[in-house]
Chains A and B, each alone.
Chain A
Amino acid sequence: MEAQFKNPHALMLRYGLLSILAFIVVCPLAWLALASLRPQSEIFQPVSEFGWSTFFPSRLTFDNYRALWASDFPLAVKNSTFVAVTTVIFGIVVNALAGFAFAAFDFRGKNLLFLLVIASFMMPFEAIVLPLYVMIRAFGWANSYQALIVPEIANGMVIFLFRQFFASIPRDFYEAARVDGASWLYIFTRIAMPLSWPTIATSGLMLFLSQWDSFFWPVVAASNPDYAVVQVAIARNINFEQSDWGGLFASTNLAILLGTIPFLLVQRFYVRTLISGGIK
């Protein structure tokens, strides 16, 4: 291994392959970011003759972004933000409570219930979208914020992560607080939760990404433009014959930034927790 590491050819090969792969990942993203800064008149021009101008606009302008203000995009951002933030807040509280129960208590049916939790995150949500839609329609929730938020709050993976964290705190710790007369709710809110901030950060990002990534459910449950989240609003714009390509470039690029920036901020915790959760 050492020899391989020091071999300059192997090193060059590794850098070369990594650079090609990173280029494949970044190229479409970078192209879109630059294309969104193009003047409307240049949108089609650069493709006919391939060269620098295919990627680099002759001048940079925020016109496409400014025009977005007048479109349906701000409403979609508002819907997405409201749905994601609400899901994150309720999701953290509800799933942390359950994770705490699995870690701190022994009770009848614990193993069976925990099995349900694990099974729930092994089954991708898409599998039940259509029957869930039938239910939601019966509740009278079709095209509402509830439809987008409530089914996404309880999350088996997040329960699992909180359980793992709370189980790493010795039970003596909880029991000492009990002896001092603390209620379980006090122990949960004042002792357990403040200690668990890395898990809170990871779970928050996970719940955010689950909303951010979901497409099938919002298309089915809330297709009305008043409740359309970002991904649905943008998908609608690429499907309809339209001429505002600049607007589509700008809104798509914004949607990418809205997802990647929080990800980059928390990715260290996120990646670590995801891996240990997924494998164990």
Chain B
Amino acid sequence: MMSSRWTPFLFLAPALAGLLIFRLVPIGVAVGGSLTGVSLMGDLRFVGAENFEYLLTDPQFWSSLKITLFFNVIINPLQLAVAFALAMLVFRPLPGLWLYRTLLVLPMAVSTGISAVLFGLFLDGNLGPLNGFLEWIGVGAQPFHRGQDQALYTLIGIATWKGAGYWMLFLLAGLYSIPSTVYEAATIDGASAWQRFRYVTLPLMRKPMAFVLVADTAINFLFFAPVYILTSGGPGGATSLLMFEAYRSAFTFSDIGRSLAISTILLGIILVIVVLEFRLLRSPEERA
């Protein structure tokens, strides 16, 4: 290729400048900012690990961390399982299947904030139909996001409503990449439907499943909008996930140092997840 040495960099410059300034530099700002504090006079000073030391002795932080871990332990396997079930259901041809597929992926296009508002109304005791239905069948009205015991699970449900169809697409691609000859061979060997699923589908789906689990985990560690819109971390701190705690540190308590310290911890977690993702996707020759 004959061209000036600089041509490719001219093509790259705007996009790379954007990624550098708005993706890479903020990581440095988070780490740097977490080592500073704002004095009462309003100026920044270097405080070393003080923000982190303070976090480690703060019961509020530990409680948020615990809730965030619990939230992720529940939501990620749940979304993976639902997405997998959906993918199995829409995999093989069926008359009218396109309609089901379209409906199941539709929540992808409903923005996260809007879906939180939608369920805020749908689950509301005075406005929404669900509590009326639950009373009608004799279960009785539920507090959902307003109840300390139910709030976190309600958020998990809303996020799964929104996300399952999206993750289904990746698993569906994985199912399509399994050659049909593998199933035919298993059938000839006398494998039952369950055995084919257990010993053919599941092992061959390990990689797409791992991809979905890891990518979903990265997103759910940063779960924010439904907490902000529906619960503000409550009731009684039951939904104070770390990202919301970081937001509240900065905007309610004007403690940027604490906020960036929590951001740095979350970035560390995300970094581990991204490395995992890279390892999973490194060899494109292997069946995805």
**Interface residues as binary, B99-119 with A (CB distance below 8 Å gives 1, 0 otherwise):** 110111111111111101111
Q: Size class of B's contact patch? A: 35 or more
A46 to B1, CA, bound (A): 71
| B218 adjacent to A31 (CB under 8 Å) | no
Chain A, 114-135, CB within 8 A of any chain B CB: 116-120, 122-124, 126-128, 130-135
Chain B residues whose C-beta falls within 8 Å of the C-beta of A231 in the assembled complex: 111-114, 225
Asked whether B131 is an interface residue with its Cβ less than 8 Å from the other chain, the reply is: yes
Contact of A130 among B11, B247, B273 (CB under 8 A): B247
A48 to B102, CA, bound (A): 34
Binds A, one of B24-32, B50-58, B60-68, B73-81: B24-32
- Interface SS, A side: helix
Tally of contact residues, A, Cβ under 8 A? 105
| B18 adjacent to A153 (CB under 8 Å) | yes
Asked whether A176 is an interface residue with its Cβ less than 8 Å from the other chain, the reply is: no
Chain A residues whose C-beta falls within 8 Å of the C-beta of B1 in the assembled complex: 104-106, 171, 174-175, 178
Chain A residues whose C-beta falls within 8 Å of the C-beta of B122 in the assembled complex: 28, 31-32
Asked whether A107 is an interface residue with its Cβ less than 8 Å from the other chain, the reply is: yes
Asked whether B159 is an interface residue with its Cβ less than 8 Å from the other chain, the reply is: no
Asked whether A190 is an interface residue with its Cβ less than 8 Å from the other chain, the reply is: no
| A130 adjacent to B132 (CB under 8 Å) | no
Asked whether B253 is an interface residue with its Cβ less than 8 Å from the other chain, the reply is: no
A275 to B172, CA, bound (A): 9
| A28 adjacent to B118 (CB under 8 Å) | yes
| A21 adjacent to B127 (CB under 8 Å) | no
Chain B, 1-36, CB within 8 A of any chain A CB: 1-3, 5, 7-9, 11-12, 14-19, 22-27, 29-30, 33
Chain B, 260-274, CB within 8 A of any chain A CB: 260, 263, 266-267, 270-271, 273-274
| A216 adjacent to B224 (CB under 8 Å) | yes
Chain B residues whose C-beta falls within 8 Å of the C-beta of A49 in the assembled complex: 132
Asked whether A156 is an interface residue with its Cβ less than 8 Å from the other chain, the reply is: yes
Asked whether B151 is an interface residue with its Cβ less than 8 Å from the other chain, the reply is: no
Asked whether A70 is an interface residue with its Cβ less than 8 Å from the other chain, the reply is: no
| A128 adjacent to B26 (CB under 8 Å) | yes
Q: Report B's interface with A, CB cutoff 8 A.
A: 1-3, 5, 7-9, 11-12, 14-19, 22-27, 29-30, 33, 86, 89-90, 92, 94, 99-100, 102-114, 116-122, 125-129, 131-133, 135-136, 161, 165, 169-170, 172-174, 177, 183, 187, 193, 196, 208, 211, 215, 218-219, 222, 224-225, 228-229, 243, 246-247, 250-251, 256, 259-260, 263, 266-267, 270-271, 273-274, 277-278, 284, 288
